[in-house]
Amino acid sequence: MIRKFIFFIVEAFIGMKRSSFMITVSLATVFISLLIFGFFLIVNLNLVNFSSYLNSKLEVRVFLKDGLTKKEIRLFKEKISSIKGIQSVELLDKDQEWNEFKERYDTLNLDDLVNSNPLPVSLTVRLEDDHQLKSIVTLLAGFNMFVEDVVYGGKMAERMQKVSRFILYFGWGIVGVLFCATFLIVINTIKLTIMNRSEEISIMKLVGATDSFVMGPFLVEGVFLGLFSSIVAVAMIHFGLKLIAVNLVSFLPFFPNDLNEKNIFIIYLIVVLWGCFMCLMGALLSTRSTLKKIL
């Protein structure tokens, strides 16, 4: 078994040497594809994390009408707390809010200008999902017996969510196109290697070599293409992350960075495994179809 595997490796290197130009093109293509794939996984991870961060900060402020009793306010709070999509409802102390407002603008001497607290009773509503923002705001505004006004800062969050989704969809589209192109190049590279060794393969079949024995070196060649390209891609991603991480903290300190060691290792592992799998599948399809034609 070990001798057979060593034979496959030696034959794979012989085949790659004979098709050195196409092998170089394949290595470069697979490398670029995996490099973009790896960076996109990192971007995807942070965008998903950023979306969750925005959701956690998204609040709706509901200002209640004057004259409501404590019982009416409590019942209204309980009622909207049961609405699907609302995570929590907090009753704000308007006296505390007024004191904080006066402290923030202490130069205005508001106590000399205003005799009583002008702020209405208000509720802070937190949502489970930003996709339900508009419908919940409309629903809350419909309680006109209790609600004076509904205010939310969701427009910027909505824009950020749209930009994030566009980047994700566009990115996956680019990655998909690159993988298709890479897959075809791997198939043609292995096909060319097989065609260059067609006479040797015919002789091997005549002396009783099995299909799996004939296919072995070409499958090893495919795995080597994926493994070598993915290792180089991971090295470049690792180097690039060090530069990006420093600049990200400097220019976007508010942006949540989820690039801990565990997540980085998982991304590296995905890149390596996907590179090997993609090239192995390309080699398998190419070997099966090409051997049928020449044998």
Cβ–Cβ < 8 Å for 281, 225: no
Q: What is the mean pLDDT of the segment spanning 215-227?
A: 87
Confirm if 129 and 85 have CB atoms less than 8 A apart. yes
Task: Please check whether residues 68 and 208 belong to one and the same domain.
Answer: no
Q: What is the CA radius of gyration of the chain?
A: 31
What range defines the domain where residue 41 resides?
2-54+158-294
Q: Is 29 exposed, middle or buried (0-12, 13-18, 19+ CB in 10 A)?
A: buried
Q: How far apart are CA 21 and CA 25, in angstroms?
A: 6
The pLDDT of residue 248: 58
164 lies in the same domain as 278: yes
The mean per-residue pLDDT over the stretch 202-207 comes to 76
Confidence (pLDDT) at 144: 80
The pair phi, psi for residue 61, each rounded to 5°, is -100, 120
pLDDT bin (cut points 50, 70, 90) of residue 201 is confident
Residue 265 vs residue 294, higher pLDDT: 265
Nearest residue to 263 (alpha-carbon basis) of 43, 53, 57: 43
Q: Are residues 169 and 251 in the same domain?
A: yes
Question: Do residues 279 and 223 make contact, with C-beta atoms less than 8 angstroms apart?
Answer: yes
Q: Mean pLDDT, to the nearest integer, of 166-189?
A: 83
pLDDT tens digits along 3-15: 777 877 777 787 7
> What's the rounded Cα separation, in Å, for the pair 34 and 85?
39
Same domain, 179 and 43: yes
- Mark which of 99, 129, 152 sits at the end of a domain: 152
Give the lowest-confidence range in 192-196, 214-218, 235-239, 256-260: 256-260
Structurally, how many domains does the chain consist of? 2
Compute the average pLDDT of residues 148-162.
Answer: 73
With tokens 């202490």, the residue in question is 106
User: Do residue 123 and residue 205 come from a single domain?
Assistant: no
Q: Which of 79, 62, 58, 78 is nearest to 120 (CA)?
A: 62
Please give the pLDDT value at position 78: 87
Same domain, 128 and 172: no
Res. 204 pLDDT band, cuts 50 70 90 = confident
And the tokens for 5? 């595997």
Could you read off the pLDDT of 122-134 as tens digits, one per residue? 888 888 776 777 7
Identify whether residues 208 and 289 lie together within a single domain.
yes
Q: Is 114 left (phi over 0), alpha (psi -120 to 50) or beta?
A: beta
Q: How many percent of the chain have pLDDT more than 90?
A: 7
Q: Which tokens is 273 given?
A: 């495994």
Task: Say what percent of the chain tops pLDDT 70.
Answer: 79
DSSP 8-state code for residue 128: S
- Pairing type for strands 59-64 and 122-127 reads antiparallel
Same domain for 147 and 290? no
With a cut of 60, say whether residue 259 has pLDDT above it.
yes
CATH code, domain with 64: 3.30.70.3040
> Could you report the per-residue pLDDT of 73-113, keeping only the tens digit for each?
888 888 888 888 888 888 776 666 656 555 565 555 555 55
Tens of pLDDT, residue by residue over 278-292, are 889 988 888 888 777
Q: How high is the pLDDT of residue 58?
A: 72
pTM value is 0.68
pLDDT band at residue 247 under the 50/70/90 scheme: low
Q: In what order do the strands lie in the sheet with 122-127?
A: 86-92, 122-127, 59-64, 147-152
